[in-house]
Amino acid sequence: MRGTAVTFEGVSKRFGSVVALDDFSLRIEPGEFVTLLGASGSGKSTALNIIAGFSDATSGDVRIGNRSVLGVPSEGRNVGMVFQNFALFPHMSVAENVAFPLRMRKVGRAEIDERVQRALDMVRLGGFAARKPAALSGGQRQRVALARAVVFEPPVLLMDECLSALDLKLREELQEEIRRIHDQIGATSIFVTHDQGEALTMSDRVAVLAGGRIEQIDRPDVLYDRPATRFVADFIGRTNLIEAEPVAGGLRIPGIDTVLPAAPGQRVISLRPERIARASHLTDADKITFSARLEQSSFQGATVDHQVRLANGTELTLREGRSGAFTPLQPGAEVALAFRRQDAVILADR
């Protein structure tokens, strides 16, 4: 199986007065795993439904490979789809469910049997062919849905919030499985989720959507470390968003006597909690130090989150690992803290 490119060119979608996608443009390369990430109403599922043929674009063009698929019915697009609710036929066995798209394509019986077994082995359900969906766990049913989506070897695989109904541990296991299967089959995978952890874990690139537009698209590490806007910084992970004071030469963090260079229009600083450390633990020569009072600590298992307050009232969160030289802090204690200058990300205020 080889993936093919998927391209949106200026796609808009309106439902009456509601704009679901607004001049949406994106190219997904062959074999790439791209996640559309956003809150409810951001346009991510609308974009996926337009690729799948379940919804029509109001304007613009969508291509799979070099072919425009506008007006092409969903069954003629040769894409695999994994739904949030599994969408399995309850009266059919696992093998019959997986075989269904092959039967619709008039594939021969012997080849169907071979492909179904190969697909079930791929999702590690080789011994479950005779069972009915009701006899499976939620995770097993989702694996069957995934096997059904890939059994006919589509060049494009679409997944719409397909892990959201599962518990945390099972979601994490299936994240690894889906990524493994993607790498194995080589299809172009487009995954829709509101869960930033899923997006960061699984994707080659993540497109953060808001209001039917892409706020930023990049590798997961770039999105996290170098968000382009306040919205992206706040949506991806947890961060301290600090309203800075414009001064000669840049921006000053209230309560911290230092100036950071900034471009016109930049007013907000993003500082991840794990980038703040006790000053004695940070050896960088170019660190920025300050003092704060501990308000409270929150146990997170492997880490502890501390809420601290600067002398001017600014509140910050820092996150410490509980291994090595970790020692607990007591509420009310004055603590010398620091961060590296390059870890303070200057953002446009939008």
pLDDT in tens, 170-208: 888 889 999 999 999 999 999 999 999 999 999 999 999
Q: How many whole angstroms separate alpha carbon 6 and alpha carbon 68? A: 10
Task: State mean pLDDT over 58-73.
Answer: 95
Q: What is the mean pLDDT of the chain?
A: 91
The share of the chain scoring above pLDDT 90, in percent, equals: 71
pLDDT in tens, 326-347: 788 888 999 999 999 999 999 8
Is residue 164 very low, low, confident or very high in pLDDT (cuts 50, 70, 90)? confident
The share of the chain scoring above pLDDT 70, in percent, equals: 99
pLDDT at position 247:
85
Q: Comparing C-alpha atoms, which of 138, 133, 8 is closest to residue 61?
A: 8
Region 238-348: CATH code: 2.40.50.100
pLDDT at position 327:
82
Q: How many whole angstroms separate alpha carbon 85 and alpha carbon 2? A: 27
Provide the residue ranges of all domains of the chain, joining segments of one domain with +: 6-229, 238-348
| pTM assigned to the model | 0.91
Task: State mean pLDDT over 131-141.
Answer: 92
pLDDT in tens, 110-135: 999 999 999 999 999 999 999 999 99
DSSP string, 248-273: TTEEE-TTS--EE---TTEEEEEE-G
pLDDT in tens, 233-272: 999 989 999 888 888 878 888 888 788 888 877 889 999 9
Q: Give the CATH fold of the 6-229 domain.
A: Rossmann fold (3.40.50)
Taking the mean position of all CA atoms in its chain, how far away is CA 54?
Answer: 23
Give the single-character DSSP code of 203: -
Separation in Å, CA 314 to CA 3, 227, 254, 264, 337:
50, 22, 7, 24, 14
